[in-house]
Structure 1
């Protein structure tokens, strides 16, 4: 079965190359969507649909609407490759070692750029953020060089939640003083990575990093921060879309 699946994936990639050899745009800034087939929480998570469109297709659509046309889906599964093929997107054969449960995303990113020596900036997009706005992604790419040059830009959500750290059976505050609890209007909150995207210069990825101390963030809001990791998240995403709340909550 493994050999059959592997051969099928190779055939789909070959077909993709034949179809896209004249249409695919290759450049110094490339989008990579990592989409392995072995997701545990939700089976074939990247093929699950929100509003009738698969998560992987949504990520591709968002990238292209943001003006990023050098888009590649890196996968180890033929069904995901077929979904990418339907959109005319390039397919990269993800190696087994970068697609196992415990493999960090940076391995998949490094594997990809090792085959693309012309790429100087990698835009890693997570297909599990279905409500990411193209304009947000476009602004983030622009922010990499303006007003000053950064090495990375990533998506973050501002949170005003008060956080605690557990030490055995005791607890201590992390981001506030218990003698002067802040009101929401009195502080800027904390920034939490959403994982929707990481825009990194090549030298970072070659050193095994997406970020360093020369980074900035692109702030996302509301539904844009939703990450589909469980069937519950999937139901929430579809409910937001059906009720037309996704755009309202994303502003």
Structure 2
């Protein structure tokens, strides 16, 4: 059973130019997810799917054990879904039975969370396992004409934070899935026969906007795996 990690890293980005190459604390964004993946012994191969020559150059210079899949132009547009891009890769990589889709824009990641997810895939024979975090926000829907509707709570019994478990929200860090689920059922996740790995909220900010760069740099100094590696090596 071949297990592959896959990182989708397009050249273009609407929010931040060349986002996947942005340096946080002098380390490229991509490296923050590649490093913990390399520490996981169960990955047979790690791949980066990209249409960017600059990203290819980075991989060849810094992460030589990582494989490069040249993403087609039609699969590198803003309109292309992650599912379609993963399916393109699996049409090329015929022997991959389990895929771990790693999101480059969620850089605070440790190998232990990937190991936990893979163990759940094996132990329970899940179709998919993905990362979540716990959220305690009270959500509303605007119905128009001055009408608001509470979505996840009863307004007559407004809960205190300590009185409820909150909601599980996708953190975006990773999505493990079987080939069969992705290719035959056109899904990255399943509502049944699926599991999750809960991650701390302080590790769950994604890089989508310019203002988040200094915030992420602070978070990664405290909750980044590359910083932990550097400390361990001293």
Q: Report the Cα distance in structure 2 between the residues aligned to 1:122 and 1:241, rounded to whole angstroms.
A: 26
Which residue in the other structure is 1:217 paired with?
196
Q: Would you say 1:45 and 2:19 are equivalent positions?
A: yes
Aligned to 1:125: 102
Q: Within 1, Cα distance between the matches of 2:78 and 2:205?
A: 22
Q: Is the 2:139–2:151 Cα contact (8 Å) retained in structure 1? A: yes
What does the per-residue CA deviation read over 1:21-45, in whole Å, with 9 as the maximum and x for residues that have no partner? xxxxxx6110000000011101110
Is 1:60 equivalent to 2:34 in the alignment? Answer: yes
Structure 1 gaps, min length 5: 1-26
Secondary structure of the 2:6 match is: strand
Asked if structure 2 preserves the Cα contact closer than 8 Å seen for 1:155 and 1:217, the reply is yes
* Contact preservation (8 Å) 1:56, 1:84: no
Indicate conservation of the 8 Å contact 2:2/2:44, yes or no.
no
Which of 121, 140, 153 pairs up with 1:164? 140
| TM-score, L = length of structure 1 | 0.83
**Hey, what does 1:194 align to over in structure 2?**
171
What does residue range 27-46 of structure 1 map to in structure 2 within 5 Å?
28-46=2-20
Detail structure 1 runs of 4+ shifted over 2 Å in the superposition: 66-69, 239-242, 244-247
Question: Which residue does 1:144 correspond to in 2?
Answer: 121
Greater CA drift, 164-173 or 104-113: 164-173
Stretches of structure 2 that go unaligned for 5 or more consecutive residues are 226-234
- Deviation of the 1:241 alpha carbon: 3.6
Once the two structures are TM-superposed, the CA of residue 246 in structure 1 deviates from its matched residue by 5.7
Give 1:144 deviation, angstroms: 1.1
Asked whether the equivalents of residues 118 and 176 of structure 2 are also in contact (C-alpha less than 8 Å), the reply is: yes
1:165, distance to aligned residue in structure 2 (A): 1.1
CA contact (8 A) 1:223 1:246 kept: no
Give the paired residue count: 219
- Which deviates more, 130-139 or 31-40? 130-139
User: TM-score if structure 2 supplies the norm length?
Assistant: 0.89
Q: Relative contact order: is structure 1 or structure 2 higher (C-alpha 8 Å, sep ≥ 6)?
A: 2
